[in-house]
Chains A and B, each alone.
Chain A
Amino acid sequence: MCYEMNQLHLEASESTEIQNLYTSKFWACNFKKDKFLRSNIKMCALPNIEFERDLHRKYLNRFLHHSMPSFLANMDTNRTVLAYFCIAGLDILDDLDKISEERKQQMIDWVYQLQVCNAEELVSGFQGSTTLNTMDNNNQNSTYKWGHIATTYSSLLSLLILGDNLDRVDRKGIVQSLRSLQLEDGSFKGAKEGAENDMRFVFCAAAVSYILNDWSGIDVEKMVDFVLKSISYDGGIGQGPDLESHCGSTFCAVAALALSNNLEKLSKDQFHNLRRWLLYRLDTGFNGRPNKPSDTCYSFWTGGALKILNAYQFIESDDNPQFVLMTQDRYGGFSKWVNSVPDPMHTYFGLAGLSLMNYENLKPLFCELNCTKEVHDRLMTIHNQWS
């Protein structure tokens, strides 16, 4: 699931000055500290690392409101996803209030600018970026101006978090288009053409249907069948049948079942083995697969799936935040591993993981959708207004 942003950073050849704003070159070069952290990583008695709330706020705001350096151009088609990680992270920090109402409205309008309403070609949804948009095709349908299921999901959530009521969302069009993305095996592809199909998009389809309170775009029975067929011999769930269990795909599968009210389709044994497999992911921090190193983002993928399966309490411990805190950057943000480079995705999942650990008054989450409980409550109010 990772966007492998670390690699992007490392490969970049930007001026050191700019890069240091976004990365922790200083930290990475500080060999003594690195050695100290590595030698301590297996120990419980860790140095008391302070949670840098203010720096995280600054870090996330920087991505939202200022131009990112050009070496992040690889993220160009996923700008709405990046924006979602920043907006959702600020929400967990309870720091959205510090953004002016005017700027929030601008952000809402920017997201809506990416909405595609194209019932004819069944490509309604949200684009990931304005890459294909020009003055000529503004608000018009044109070649490849298609919604993508992942960016539709993250755009809808961004709108909700920013306080929008989804009034301008083409609900009917999106649901109709969703239908054309489901494949015979029950899985979903990401877009009309040119996108692969797997569990990530099954989750996105379920989340979009849940947010829009309309499941007519999904053959739920087929979807559940795909999820059940993707359960591996070890109890975890892969991106599809036969594929290796992975916490990212396991979260997607579990959340899709929960959102569609189908958790009970798991047999007693499947439920038991799934919980066991997920609990085994706790190591120094949380890893994503057996015998892989811990990575900040799995504190949410694993933790969130365990919460949904009512098993998080089995591993609750005061030590759990330590690994995540060790991946905190001295200039704000969280990275994948200790002593590597932060990015918005790992920053969001670091914060989300810490929230699951009830850390530092971070806002509690509604894991199934990947947003705060507060946002979910507001969504329920909106649903009431729709009915």
Chain B
Amino acid sequence: MSDNSSDECDTQHVLYKNRPEWSDITPLKQNDGEHPVAAIDYTEEFEDCFDYFRAVVQKKEYSERTLELTKTAASLNPANYTVWQFRREILKALNKDLNEELEYIGKVILKQTKNYQVWHHRRIIVEWLQDPSKEKYLTEKSLSEDAKNYHAWQHRQWVIKTYNLYDGELEYVDQLLQDDVKNNSAWNQRYFVVNNTTGFTQETLNREIDYTLGKIRILMENESAWNYLRGLLLHDKGGLSRNEKVTDFCETFYEQGNRSPFLLALIVDICSEKITNNGGGDGNNVYTSARAKELCNALATQYDTIRAKYWLHISETIENQANEQNSMDESSTTN
């Protein structure tokens, strides 16, 4: 391939207007009107490159030299989606080796990891090649720099879902959570994998609950893990309140004096669910509206004071819920 003149190692950039092989093209100036807004003081290199870009786009010239030009244009502004679009059309027209393109865009991505256009280009090339074999490695490399990079995760999910590459993903997620138990992206990926493979069967649910409780034990103040636990309980027939493993866990830590706001919030929600489901009617039920009220107060005044107004609102809502339930129960007994 001859289109490597704008690679990062090439420091001697020759302006297109000074290149003999471009002398047949009349560059086209940008027309920004008489009174531009949010104008940019382009460098000479930028202006020169895009003057030729405008000219060859109008001509729809698909050639080695225009392929090279798009590389320069993309290095000057990787967010220009038209440049990538034009580049793809050239690649197709010239029937280029897409493996080389994959290698090139991989390098660009690792320098521009938070740019929508470069990841999109990668995705299209993978689709054209129907070869997803290098994608996990690329995203892992990117995630090793920033383990929460949304673009990398989005690409990874797409490739896993499209080409059924779930094998080994749970182990990868586990590794990331060992590195950082607060990595919310990794927790999300865990849910994605389980949901799209085994689903939340009772067996999986038990395994995942054990796993999550283990992680919460490491760090109680971890919203991501508590959220995942709640996500699991969405699939538990008993809802939030009937999984003894979870309720025992909560009560043990509460009795030991733990006051993580996430722990208290879950107990509040368990109370709320119990009240709605059975009016708090069974004899040894500890999940009463009185307890919810007490915990909401504790959250509001001590453990989660920035959301004080919210917890007082929740307390009120639960009280109303309980009153409604009581009057319903009473009316059913009188009848």
Contacts and interface: CB of A to CB of B under 8 A. Distances in A.
A135 interface: yes
B184 A292 contact: yes
A296 B133 CA distance: 39
Interface string A214-245: 00000000000000000011110011101111
A142 B31 CA distance: 14
A213 interface: no
A198 to B, nearest CB: 8
B85 A72 contact: no
A4 B183 CA distance: 21
B29 A290 contact: no
Given A196-B120, A233-B234, 11 more contacts: A68-B38, A69-B40, A70-B43, A76-B80, A143-B57, A143-B60, A191-B81, A196-B123, A290-B227, A314-B310, A315-B309
B85 A317 contact: no
Chain B interface mostly? helix
Contact of A107 (B37, B54, B115, B117): B37
Contacts of B192: 242
B228 interface: yes
A82 B40 CA distance: 11
Contact of A68 (B30, B35, B41, B223): B41
A289 B35 CA distance: 41
B148 A289 contact: yes
Contacts of A166: none
14 contacts: A73-B77, A77-B81, A78-B79, A106-B37, A191-B81, A234-B227, A243-B154, A244-B184, A245-B188, A289-B148, A289-B185, A291-B223, A314-B307, A317-B306
Interface magnitude class on chain B: 35 or more
Interface string A273-290: 000010110100000011
A244 B28 CA distance: 44
Nearest to B36: A110
B240 to A, nearest CB: 11
B313 interface: yes
A384 interface: no
B227 A83 contact: no
B90 to A, nearest CB: 13
Contacts of B309: 313-316
Given A68-B38, A144-B85, A132 B306 contact: no
B58 interface: yes
B82 A77 contact: yes
B306 A282 contact: yes
Given A133-B31, A194-B81, A234 B230 contact: yes
A359 to B, nearest CB: 17
A130 B31 contact: yes
B85 A233 contact: no
Contacts of A120: none
A172 B143 CA distance: 44
Contacts of A195: 81, 120
Interface residues of A, number: 76
A74 B313 contact: no
A86 B38 contact: yes
B79 A74 contact: yes
Interface in B43-98: 43, 46, 50, 54, 57-58, 60, 76-82, 84-86, 88
B35 A132 contact: no
Nearest to A134: B28
In the A-B complex, the 8 residue pairs with the smallest Cβ-Cβ separation, listed nearest first, are A233-B231, A194-B85, A106-B35, A314-B310, A234-B227, A67-B41, A244-B188, A291-B182
Contact of B230 (A7, A86, A233, A315): A233
Nearest to A111: B37
Interface in A172-221: 190-191, 193-196
Contacts of A67: 39-41
Contacts of B40: 67-70, 72-73, 75-76, 79
A40 to B, nearest CB: 17
A131 interface: yes
Given A76-B80, A232-B188, A317-B306, A137 B37 contact: no
B38 A63 contact: yes
B141 to A, nearest CB: 18
Which of B43, B114, B188 has its CB near the most chain A CB atoms (within 10 A)? B188
A243 B28 contact: no
B157 interface: yes
A279 B111 CA distance: 35
A242 B39 contact: no
Contacts of A86: 38
Contacts of A238: 188
B223 A233 contact: no
A132 B57 contact: yes
B148 A83 contact: no
A358 interface: no
A264 to B, nearest CB: 19
A131 B150 contact: no
Interface in B93-120: 114-117, 119-120
A130 B43 contact: no
A21 B216 CA distance: 47
Most buried by B among A73, A83, A110, A314: A73
B33 interface: yes
B190 to A, nearest CB: 10
Contact of A77 (B35, B79, B306): B79
